[in-house]
Chains A and B, each alone.
Chain A
Amino acid sequence: MSIELRAITKSFGEVTVVRGIDLRIATGELCVLLGPSGSGKSTLLRVIAGLEEPDSGSVLLHGEDVTRGDPRRRGIGFVFQHYALFRHLTVAENVEFPLRVQKVPGPQRRARREELLELVGLVGYGGRRPGQLSGGQQQRVALARALAGSPRVLLLDEPFGALDARIRVELRHAIRRIHRELGITTVFVTHDQEEAFALADRLAVLADGRLLEVGAPSDLYLHPRQERVATFLGDANVLVGEASERGVRLGGVELPLGVTAEATPGGRVRVVFRPEDVQLGAASTGAAQLGLATVEEATFAGSFERLRLRLPTPPGVRGVAPPAPFGSAFVWLDAIRPQPDARRLPLQSGDEVQVAVRRVHVLSSAALRLLVLGSDDPPGPAAALAAALAERTPTTVSRAGATPPPDGWDLALFDLLPEGAPPRHLPGPEVDHLLFVTPGAALPRRILVCIAVGEPGKEDVSLAERLAWRLAAHVTVLTVLPGPPQEPPPHVRRFLDAAARALGRRGVEVTTRVRHGAPRREILSEVTEGRHDLLVTGAPVPPRGQPFGLHGLVERILAAPPCPVLVVRAMHPTSVPAADVEEPARSGR
């Protein structure tokens, strides 16, 4: 084992960038760390290099613990995004630098330099200055320099980030070739999914400082466990359906597939299928028919055609990705097909076509998951409510003390009884939503959803929909406008109508309300007047790079909560719903 990372954690000030990552990279392997910006992948690489010291955890290189060690003695080569060449030295001097440090005698040094310039395809450039080379050439010099000292591990930090698309592809081939020739253990950091596929022996997907999944690129693409991995690696259609005896039920269609053990028949399961698995046109054997869809958009993409389809939502199905417009009665599906197929069955916007799916893959549980924080001895209201919820809904309930919650939690419950105030320890970004429970809380029968008009509001409604449907509760959607009473502006009206439609779709009883005045006072009055027993509200969106916190209106409501409060956090950046409010006129189509 060349590189072994054990429970690496690293914070910069308030912000934790790497959260307990374990990773082992075999000798001679080319491992790609893939993740969106801010996922902690570069920091992890710098920890391996010794340029950052982890707050906890250990780094082993070739079996030796180097956690606190000097980067100089690690035997690594590091390639930076912006080349980091010594601009006052020539190409030859740059490449010879590590050899001079190692006190390699002149003739050997020059021979080694020529060997490396040949390896990266820059023979004859030795006398030039970095400033006289193109970006791609500079990065080749940086690569030769990193390899000159014969390191045992090569680390590359988004090395092609600043380069043109064509040069990136060319350098990708160069990296693969060099890796094949030298057999050096290589770790490559990128946010480019295509680059990751092209390079990796093994792929590690990171998000929010956590390692989501590790595996061969094809494996992660075809059999991801988590929705975030599925949607980050290529385009994905994600639907929530129901587990059946033989497979997955999506509305009236049963897909005879192996279902993972965690889904019991009747339980909700999340399935993913890739655009290339969508089959258009006449029914054929082996593909499950989803129904008749309308072509929203068909675009030419070189060797294939890309389509977006609008499929009327089958009963009991929820669309997750690509995110359909708020309050719409359909799901969107992405499809691609080779050009010969496109010529055989030409389709354009507005056409209707039979849609089938060749292959679906089941993701891990789609159930609402609750995390109870705090001790359960004696059981407080949070634990009692969690148990009641678990009984009534397909909800997984887990208890956690002060330890960080396990991956992928949807909901965390906070007991307001012991402290009487929101606890200081809030779960990290792996928890989506927080439920604060007051003493004497029972299963909610009347839910009040307070929304600001806009994206976060849609998330509030969507979660309330899932809860209310399970609990057969009544929902009131409330918006508070500043100033004296007046007719609400049309976009507010439209938004409330869309919210009512979104909830009504599942048969949830809905009322919409508009109040005027100070938000906190109006919300509290509505809770009392409407005898509501659960308040759903959006969390403030933290500024980029800042941790998730509770401030403003939410903080003031939590200071003296009138009933249990569910704080809904906007979804992860990787799955932000991009669609707008659906116009009523169009949805009637």
Chain B
Amino acid sequence: MRRRHNAVPGFALTFGATMLYLSLVVLIPLAAMLLRAASTGPHELFSAIANRRALAAFGLSFGGALLAAAIAAVGGSIAAWVLVRYDFPGRKLFDALVDLPFAMPTAVSGIALATLLAPQGWVGRALLPLGWKLAYTRGGVIVAMVLVSLPFIIRTLQPALADLPLDVEEAAATLGSGRLRTVATIVAPQLLPALGSGFALAFARAVGEYGSVIFIAGNLPGKTEIVPLLIVVELEQYDYAAATALGAAMLAASFAVLLCIHLLPRWMSRRRLAQAGG
């Protein structure tokens, strides 16, 4: 360990404080839940998760969150590009609006979405002739998830984009590269790490989202029900064992997905380096 003059006192003290904080806020509550889940029998645990309703909820929660994060990644990238690379009237205002979903209670955005997307709402009415129905469907769930996860993508991409010098793209052009090639081989790879962490944050937020989803989902068991809602349902029936079992399973699955998202780019670049090493 390097010993350099540092304004914050010693490693031991700060590391201790960090661990204490992490333990109190994150590890101990999680451990309590896992302990609780472990104290239930394996059979009970299995039956709480491996039923049709729970599996459908898991499918919607994780599948929906991944899809929502992907949609947000595309839309958010475009929005971040516009905000960083162009100057237009109202840019500052637009930029401030991005944070609004952070500040709003999610129930408010849920109600707003429900009124908009309902068959009588502005958007719902417009979509009806097309045969599209978003309110009280899985589509509606994904719309709500995209809404709450979008700011994460924009806010993580903005600094990365601002750091991307314009002359790099000009250099690619003078070397004969077309727009498409420049974006694919020069711009995108340099944004990938930022996009990866933005995607992870967006996914995490979408998976954990409760407030805004339940208003728009309709919550039909086995169809538009998400895991967090199912946990609440179990709790309301005083089935603590099933609730903790679902919670533990969700924790494990989320952790696995996030780990994959973080490791994927590193693995990809290592493989590319190994290829180029000739």
Residues of A near any B CB (own CB < 8 A): 49-51, 70-74, 76-78, 80, 82, 84-88, 90, 92-93, 97-98, 101-102, 110, 127, 142, 145-146, 148-149
Q: Which A-chain residue is minimally distant from B273 (CB atoms)? A: A90
Q: How many residues of B contact A (CB 8 A)?
A: 21
Sample (14) of A-B pairs whose CB atoms are under 8 Å apart: A71-B170, A71-B174, A72-B173, A72-B177, A72-B178, A73-B176, A80-B167, A80-B171, A86-B186, A87-B168, A88-B189, A88-B269, A142-B171, A149-B176
Q: In the complex, A71→B168 CA distance in Å?
A: 14
Q: Residues of A contacting B165 with CB < 8 Å? A: 82, 84
Residues in B158-199 with C-beta less than 8 Å from chain A = 165, 167-168, 170-178, 181, 186, 189-190
| Known A78-B170, A82-B167, A86-B168: A97·B175 in contact at CB below 8 Å | yes
CB distance from A52 to the nearest CB of B (A): 10
* Interface-central residue, A77, A98, A145, by most chain B CB under 10 Å: A98
CB distance from B273 to the nearest CB of A (A): 7
Residues of B near any A CB (own CB < 8 A): 165, 167-168, 170-178, 181, 186, 189-190, 269, 273, 276-278
* Interface-central residue, A51, A70, A82, by most chain B CB under 10 Å: A51
Closest 4 CB pairs of A and B: A84-B171, A78-B174, A98-B175, A84-B167
CB distance from B141 to the nearest CB of A (A): 36
Q: In the complex, A90→B270 CA distance in Å?
A: 12
Q: In the complex, A77→B177 CA distance in Å?
A: 12
CB distance from B124 to the nearest CB of A (A): 44
Q: Residues of B contacting A146 with CB < 8 Å? A: 174-175
Q: Residues of B contacting A70 with CB < 8 Å? A: 173
Q: In the complex, A74→B176 CA distance in Å?
A: 9
Report yes or no: B190 in contact with A87, Cβ–Cβ below 8 A.
yes
Q: In the complex, A110→B278 CA distance in Å?
A: 9
Report yes or no: A92 in contact with B170, Cβ–Cβ below 8 A.
no
Q: Residues of A contacting B181 with CB < 8 Å? A: 101
Q: In the complex, A92→B173 CA distance in Å?
A: 19
CB distance from A86 to the nearest CB of B (A): 6
Q: In the complex, A88→B194 CA distance in Å?
A: 13
* Interface-central residue, B167, B175, B181, by most chain A CB under 10 Å: B175
| Known A92-B276, A93-B276: A84·B168 in contact at CB below 8 Å | yes
Q: Residues of B contacting A142 with CB < 8 Å? A: 171
Q: Residues of A contacting B178 with CB < 8 Å? A: 72
Given A72-B176, A86-B172, 10 more pairs with CB closer than 8 A: A49-B174, A51-B170, A76-B174, A80-B171, A88-B190, A101-B175, A101-B181, A142-B171, A148-B175, A149-B176
Q: Which B-chain residue is minimally distant from A155 (CB atoms)? A: B174
Report yes or no: B170 in contact with A80, Cβ–Cβ below 8 A.
yes
Q: Residues of A contacting B269 with CB < 8 Å? A: 88
Q: Residues of A contacting B177 with CB < 8 Å? A: 72, 97-98, 101
Q: Residues of B contacting A98 with CB < 8 Å? A: 175-177
Q: In the complex, A580→B3 CA distance in Å?
A: 51
Q: Residues of B contacting A127 with CB < 8 Å? A: 276-277
